Structure 1
Amino acid sequence: MSSNPAAGNRRLARLYYKRVMNLAEIDVIPQIMDEDFVFTIPTHPEVFKGTKGFEEEVTGLHGAFPDVHLDVHHKWCFDDLILGLWRGTGTHTGEKPLSTPRGPLPATGHPFDIQGVSWIRADGTLLRENLANEDTLKIIHDLGVRDFSWLYQAAGASLAGGFQFPYASSGSLSFDSLVPWSRMDHPLLLEPATSSAQIEAFFAAYWSAFENVSIKITHAKRSNEVNAYRWEFTADHVRPFFSLQPCHRPIHHQGVTVCLLDGLGRVVSSYINENLIVLIGQMEAQQGSP
């Protein structure tokens, strides 16, 4: 283990994002991980293990999207964790079919533009595990596999109440830690919420769909600058989820929330990433799709 793990992790992060993910320099992979490394991401059904497994992930990504690029707009390197927020772009023109939970997807010719989170366990010497999340809904929408305009429109409409009218939450969630001008990026919103009132209104609409909610925090990391946590929840879908009618069945959902803090510990902006394709699939299991 490195004598200065945070510094070592900053070096590993530079190699991982710039040379491996963006430039596909697969010869760098053995320098930053070993055969114990594990990579998971919701859009791929496989769990990639070790250097050869991750080489398969990188070559598959660049084989499907030759111009793929991750723009890491926020990054924190701790002694045991690299946390990165990124915007991913690319064009689906490659010869290698994209691996998806529903099978290989040949080139569609469409560009994509999504947000993602890397939650990388590291010790300053090697990367050990990456539990990544990316906007599964937007990539399916952008590639033309399925049009989710109806859902984006319904979610965006939930912001109007918070923008126009004062709102008091009747639920158990507390928004006291938000500054009034808080900003939130969420995969259901094509444009971010730009005030604490809009954020409250959005989550009031979001959680109104569920009963018997049970939330579990699976990983957490906090500093003076950031509060991040990975979560799972189970619930019964009993009312409309924006414009998606209730299935009256139990659902299980997963995601990650990263909150940026000011000097007083208040949330000034937040980035939420959820595996919405799996959530919507559960909701639609016993009903027709819009």
Structure 2
Amino acid sequence: MSSHVADNEAVVRRDVREVWHSSGDLDLIPDIVTDDFVYRNPLVDEPVHGPDDYRKLAATFRDAFSDIDMEISEMVAVNDKVVTRYTTRAVHDGEFMDIEPTHNSIEITGIIIDHLEDGKLTERYVNDDALGLFEQIGTIELP
């Protein structure tokens, strides 16, 4: 593995550890993402642009869920792309999308596709088990 690819993996690991874990430091976001960074996730109505909006998004999730632990199950890096398969565990103890806290534990899986440039994230696509999330916090019931 080239050092360039290893560096890209390290950036993604740092983002997972610092931005999405409850114990992370959101002040590091400008060091991790570019000014024109774009985050896309079907759970979020519109793409998120730039470090400030990314910080707001992460803070919203961290306010709604405590004890967030995002475990990387697998990571594949090629050139300037990193694909990560992960599992997130947390407790829903804050308002989330107008849903009052249920204090339910959640566990969801997902895949992230990141694009990097000059050692920073430029674009992220997230696809996670949103249906499972809503089922686990009790807002929907599967037939």
Q: Please say whether Structure 1 and Structure 2 have the same fold, judged by a TM-score greater than 0.5.
A: yes
> Does the Cα contact within 8 Å between 1:183 and 1:196 map onto a contact in 2?
no
CA distance in 1, matches of 2:92, 2:45: 24
Alignment deviations for residues 1-57 of structure 1 (CA, whole Å, 9 cap, x no partner): xxxxxxxxxxxxxxxxxxxxxxxxxxxxxxxxxxxxxxxxxxxxxxxxxxxxxxxxx
Correspondence for 1:218 among 66, 73, 83: 73
Alignment deviations for residues 70-90 of structure 1 (CA, whole Å, 9 cap, x no partner): xxxxxxxxxxxxxxxxxxxxx
Q: Report which stretch shifted further, 272-281 or 241-250.
A: 241-250
Specify the alignment match of 2:84 in structure 1: 229
Specify the alignment match of 2:135 in structure 1: 281
1:246 and 2:101 matched: yes
The one-letter amino acid paired with 1:269 is E
Deviation at 1:256, TM superposition (A): 1.1
CA distance in 2, matches of 1:190, 1:212: 25
1:190 and 2:42 matched: no
Gaps of 5+ in 1: 1-169
CA distance in 1, matches of 2:44, 2:68: 23
TM-score, length basis structure 1: 0.38
Q: Larger % of strand: which?
A: 2
The one-letter amino acid paired with 2:103 is H
RMSD of aligned Cα (Å): 2.1
CA distance in 1, matches of 2:69, 2:58: 16
Deviation at 1:214, TM superposition (A): 2.3
The one-letter amino acid paired with 1:215 is M
Alignment deviations for residues 72-123 of structure 1 (CA, whole Å, 9 cap, x no partner): xxxxxxxxxxxxxxxxxxxxxxxxxxxxxxxxxxxxxxxxxxxxxxxxxxxx
1:256 and 2:108 matched: no
Superposed, 1:57-68 pairs within 5 Å as none
> Does the Cα contact within 8 Å between 1:226 and 1:258 map onto a contact in 2?
yes
Deviation at 1:228, TM superposition (A): 1.6
TM-score, length basis structure 2: 0.73
Correspondence for 2:24 among 172, 181, 184: 172
